[in-house]
Structure formats: structure tokens, C-alpha cells
């Protein structure tokens, strides 16, 4: 489910450059991991894992060939 949510969110943001998206992805990953490591409650750990997965999961909008070359 997190992969689907991430794909939908980043599909809408795919027109943005990696220069814009990369900080967003790192922020999501950091926020999710902070939630995981600062609590012992299973519900909060699950939410943190979902948030971290949005930032680090597959289909996150960055491609290796997303440089400034014309399509």
C-alpha cells in the first residue's frame, strides 16, 4: 500500500527535477526513521516505516537518466 501511495504521489511530481525531489525523499526517509527509532509503540513504528518507505521505496520518481539531456 505504501508503494502505491508513493507512486501516486511521485507520479504527480514527476515533472520536478531530482534537484527538487531528492531533498523531499531524504526528508521523508529521515522523518520515518526518526519515528521508528524514538518509540516502542507498534502503531507508531508502523507509521514511521510507511513514511520512510515513501521516501526510500521503489518508484520514487528518480531515474538514473534524469539528467538535462533532451528526450
Whole-prediction pTM value?
0.61
Domain ranges of the chain: 2-56
Which pLDDT value is given to residue 42?
94
Residue 61: CB partners within 8 Å, gap ≥ 6? 10, 11, 13, 14, 16, 21, 25
**pLDDT tens digits, residue range 5-64?**
767 776 676 677 778 778 888 898 899 999 999 999 999 999 998 888 887 765 544 454
CB 48 within 8 A of CB 35: yes
Amino acid at each position: 500500500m505504501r508503494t502505491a501511495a508513493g507512486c501516486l504521489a511521485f507520479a504527480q511530481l514527476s515533472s520536478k527535477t531530482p534537484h527538487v525531489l531528492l531533498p523531499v525523499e531524504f526528508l521523508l526517509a529521515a522523518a520515518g526513521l526518526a519515528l521508528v527509532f524514538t518509540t516502542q509503540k507498534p502503531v507508531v513504528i508502523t507509521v514511521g516505516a510507511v513514511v520512510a518507505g515513501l521516501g526510500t521505496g521503489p518508484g520514487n520518481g528518480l531515474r538514473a537518466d534524469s539528467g538535462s539531456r533532451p528526450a
